[in-house]
Amino acid sequence: MKRKLLVVEDELSLAKQLKWGLSDGYEVMIAENATKAEDLLATRSFPLATLDLGLPPSPDDPREGLRLLEKIPALSPHTKVVVITGNTEQGNAMRAIAAGAMDFCEKPIDLETLKVTLERAGRIHKWEEANRKQSAGNEGSGLAFCGMIGTSPAMDHLFDTIRRVSDTDYPVLILGESGTGKEMVARALHTLSHRSQNPMVVINCGAIPENLLESELFGHEKGSFTGAANLKIGRFEQADGGTIFLDEIGDMPLMLQVKLLRFLQEGTIERVGGKQTLKLDVRVIAATHVQLEKAVKEGRFREDLFYRLNVVPLEVPPLRDRKEDILQLAHHFIDEEAKKLNRGKITLSSSAAAALSVQSWPGNVRELQNALYRALATTRDGNLKPADLGLKETSQSVDAQLLTIREARQAAEYRVIRRALSITQNNISRAAKLLEISRPTLHDLLKKHGID
């Protein structure tokens, strides 16, 4: 289904050219003035819009376009706006970005550049829409990104990478310790992809006996082995058009690794006992907590399959590397479970918060969640203490866990730079202008924060 795109452009010939050039990917509507644009935007049916700042009655002046831009959040708060501006008017473009525009394109318009810019804005709109849907009914729960919670630099980097790779069809290999949320990352990749309306099929390769796993993955024909009374459709066929998530891929037997490699190379499978080759369209996302490079050296995992899967590696950080997220996660889990148990408001004492914050949590988010659920199940106190959580009191106050001013400033600096790079598609010159600093200063900051 084509996405709707509103083109706000008073020059009719240019508007028609844009409509013709973008009609393959978008359902394009044209508004030749601000009044018509306001009426169309008020329908809230346009995820994307392009806006020429020079509009009647003063087409040589950006003020009318900027006025309209300031009204858009009230008219259609989720519309992503790409501003069209003259190549000598970068000051106006920066004003538009500050007023809420997603990006800008300079005249004369390069259609391919505009398509890339709109595609990126569309992906962000889709991500935000998915996040709103995930958050529906969970008001105040602190959901941050497709159900995943975290404001630490490590999670900010992970979320940004997910956004960038979600709409490709490349295989993704998710790495991380048990309990870090690898399946949630896989679900975010699927939710934000163009496959989101099709199935996502999940299978744990380590939870199914080796002699049944082949049939489970690839299906079997009737009579292909003892007990095969009927034709069975495997998980790959169930995922056709969508995504298959192979959890604990490191536990897959070598024999099945060959069949998976063939699928990744050719996009085809054969059912057990079958002679028909089936062509499927499935994106493969795999996850493991083991070191696959070590497994390759030990002969437990095929090297060629490892390289096929490792096109886009995503590492989910352990909780000990994102300690600033612990209390945010804790409050979310407490609020969520208290509602299910009809317990009313449950709070963390300051000593419990401090005790939670200093733990290393080797079981990661899953261990933290279990500790909180156990506390809610065993205590009727509305204010959780360290003992309720099975933890010892710490002499360190929760205030001692907070960032220093210097650390807070560095964290804020990191996020602002990442945001500017995201808005400008990693264009250093435009990012520096947006941040109102020089290019050399931005280069120094990138080096300082380890941003590649």
What pLDDT is stored for residue 417 in this prediction?
84
Per residue in 259-302, pLDDT (tens digit) is 999 999 999 999 988 888 999 999 999 999 989 999 999 999 99
Q: Give phi and psi for 220, each to the nearest 5.
A: -150, 160
What pLDDT is stored for residue 134 in this prediction?
53
What pLDDT is stored for residue 137 in this prediction?
37
What pLDDT is stored for residue 266 in this prediction?
94
Over residues 304-324, mean pLDDT: 92
3-state SS record for the chain: CCEEEEEECCCHHHHHHHHHHHCCCEEEEEECCHHHHHHHHCCCCCCEEEEECCCCCCCCCCHHHHHHHHHHHHHCCCCEEEEEEECCCHHHHHHHHHCCCCEEEEECCCHHHHHHHHHHHHHHHHHHHHHHHHHCCCCCCCCCECCECCCCHHHHHHHHHHHHHCCCCCCEEEECCCCCCHHHHHHHHHHCCCCCCCCEEEEECCCCCHHHHHHHHHCECCCCCCCCCCCECCHHHHCCCCEEEEECHHHCCHHHHHHHHHHHHHCEECCECCCCCEECCCEEEEEECCCHHHHHHCCCCCHHHHHHHCCEEEECCCHHHCHHHHHHHHHHHHHHHHHHCCCCCCEECHHHHHHHHHCCCCCHHHHHHHHHHHHHHHCCCCEECHHHHCCCCCCCCHHHHCCCHHHHHHHHHHHHHHHHHHHCCCCHHHHHHHHCCCHHHHHHHHHHHCCC
What pLDDT is stored for residue 28 in this prediction?
94
The answer on pLDDT for 87 being more than 60 is no
Q: Tell which residue, 155, 215, 212, has the closest CA to residue 181.
A: 155
Over residues 183-197, mean pLDDT: 90
Over residues 315-340, mean pLDDT: 89
What pLDDT is stored for residue 265 in this prediction?
94
Ranges of each domain in the chain = 3-132, 153-315, 320-401, 405-449
Mean pLDDT of the chain: 85
Over residues 433-450, mean pLDDT: 82
Same fold: 3-132 with 320-401: no
The answer on pLDDT for 328 being more than 70 is yes
User: CA of 123: how far to CAs of 72, 243, 359, 370, in Å?
Assistant: 19, 18, 37, 34
In terms of average pLDDT, the best of 82-96, 188-202, 299-313 is 299-313
What pLDDT is stored for residue 406 in this prediction?
57
**Could you give the percent of the chain with pLDDT greater than 90?**
39
What pLDDT is stored for residue 240 in this prediction?
93
Compute CA 212 distance to the chain's CA centroid, rounded to the nearest angstrom. 33
User: What's the topology of domain 320-401?
Assistant: Helicase, Ruva Protein; domain 3 (1.10.8)
Q: Find out whether 156 and 117 touch, Cβ atoms under 8 Å.
A: no
Over residues 105-114, mean pLDDT: 89
Q: Find out whether 233 and 219 touch, Cβ atoms under 8 Å.
A: yes
What pLDDT is stored for residue 347 in this prediction?
84
pTM above 0.85, yes or no: no
Confidence of residue 397 (pLDDT cuts 50, 70, 90): very low
Per residue in 123-171, pLDDT (tens digit) is 888 777 766 655 543 433 344 578 888 878 888 889 888 988 988 899 9
What pLDDT is stored for residue 138 in this prediction?
40
What pLDDT is stored for residue 48 in this prediction?
95
Which CATH number does the domain 153-315 belong to among 2.10.50.10, 3.40.50.720, 3.30.70.1290, 3.40.50.300?
3.40.50.300
Confidence of residue 1 (pLDDT cuts 50, 70, 90): low
The answer on pLDDT for 403 being more than 50 is no
The answer on pLDDT for 175 being more than 70 is yes
Which CATH number does the domain 3-132 belong to among 2.40.340.10, 3.30.365.10, 3.40.50.2300, 3.60.15.10?
3.40.50.2300
Q: To the nearest 10°, the Cα dihedral for 62, 39, 117, 420?
A: 60
What pLDDT is stored for residue 130 in this prediction?
67
